[in-house]
Structures are given as C-alpha cells and as structure tokens.
Amino acid sequence: SQQGEEDPQALSIQEGENATMNCSYKTSINNLQWYRQNSGRGLVHLILIRSNEREKHSGRLRVTLDTSKKSSSLLITASRAADTASYFCATAGGNTPLVFGKGTRLSVIA
C-alpha cells in the first residue's frame, strides 16, 4: 500500500513557534500532497510536491520530499492560533486514488 503515515499523531506548540510534521510512505509515488482539515469537515489542499522535487514553499509552509527515504515533512513557520487543525499527507501514483494517512492534530496555543 502507498499509505502515508504522519508523525507525530498530535502536536501542541505556542503561537509563533514552528511546527514540523512528518509523513512516511511505502511505495513509489508520482507526487505527495498535504491537506488541512478544520473541525472534522472538508479538507483543504495546501501543497503538492512532485517526485522529482525536493523542496517547495508556499507562504509560511515548507515541504520537503526525500524519495530515497520515502518520507516528507511539512514545516509551518511562525504558527498562529488559526493554524490549529489536522494535517494529512496523501500519496499519488498511477491511476489509483490518493491514499491518505491518519493525520497530525496540531494545536497552536495563543
């Protein structure tokens, strides 16, 4: 299975600190995506990194991908209370649907 697994399962930090979440997967991929979910409802796409890319930035988000280790990390810099959410990685390969991990629950304390 391509399933991504996020680590840690839960993370609590103070506002202004950086938050780092990791994702590991098992098979080769076309790309890896990160999503955010607030209050257990719809997910919002954050960033997509292709298998031939090593790092990507979007605002306060920085994603890295190491295909040799089959792992990715999501860094949120200068966190805000509004960043409190669950974060999921999802792997994409071939014509199979995205496979989501179980997520990291991030709490940013003001």
Partner 1 sequence: GAGVSQSPSNKVTEKGKDVELRCDPISGHTALYWYRQSLGQGLEFLIYFQGNSAPDKSGLPSDRFSAERTGGSVSTLTIQRTQQEDSAVYLCASSPQGAIYEQYFGPGTRLTVT
Residues that bind partner 1 (CB under 8 A): 30-31, 33, 35, 40-45, 48, 88, 92-103
* Residue placing its CB nearer to partner 1 in the complex, 44 or 78: 44
- Taking the complex as a whole, the smallest distance from the CB of residue 100 to partner 1 amounts, in Å, to 4
10 Å Cβ neighbour count for 5?
15
- Taking the complex as a whole, the smallest distance from the CB of residue 41 to partner 1 amounts, in Å, to 5
Which DSSP letter does residue 75 get? Answer: E
The Cα–Cα gap between 57 and 16 comes to 18
* Residue placing its CB nearer to partner 1 in the complex, 44 or 82: 44
To the nearest 10°, report the CA torsion of 103, 104, 109, 110: -60
- Taking the complex as a whole, the smallest distance from the CB of residue 89 to partner 1 amounts, in Å, to 10
